[in-house]
Amino acid sequence: SQKIEQNSEALNIQEGKTATLTCNYTNYSPAYLQWYRQDPGRGPVFLLLIRENEKEKRKERLKVTFDTTLKQSLFHITASQPADSATYLCALLSGGYQKVTFGTGTKLQVIP
């Protein structure tokens, strides 16, 4: 069956370090993958999109990689700040783009 896995345990890192979050998937052939940020009591907010033929995408302090061989995406936040503390969700879009499947998210805590 299709499965998306994000580390369910919270990730705690020191301010200024690089945070790396992982999204693994099985039995998908995603056309593209998205990353979202969700703060408590709010809806997810779109951050980055990467297509299957792209290896890497950057936006300011954010970087996403997409390895279709490993079936994995990595999401990096460089020079992390306490304001980056949130839950980060990955989402896969495949065949027909009509349905998107979200991972359960990883909670990031940046410690001052």
Residues making contact with another protein (CB under 8 A): 8, 31-32, 34, 36, 41-46, 49, 89, 91, 93, 97-105
Return all residues near 18 (Cβ < 8 A) that are at least 6 apart: 76, 77, 78, 79, 80
Q: Are 37 and 44 in contact (CB under 8 A)?
A: yes
Instruction: Using the minimum distance from each CB to another protein, give the nearer residue, 9 or 112.
Output: 9
What is the C-alpha to C-alpha distance for residues 45 and 24, in angstroms, rounded to an integer? 20
Instruction: Using the minimum distance from each CB to another protein, give the nearer residue, 31 or 62.
Output: 31
The least CB distance from residue 1 to another protein, in Å, is 12
Q: Are 62 and 47 in contact (CB under 8 A)?
A: yes
The least CB distance from residue 102 to another protein, in Å, is 4
Instruction: Using the minimum distance from each CB to another protein, give the nearer residue, 14 or 104.
Output: 104
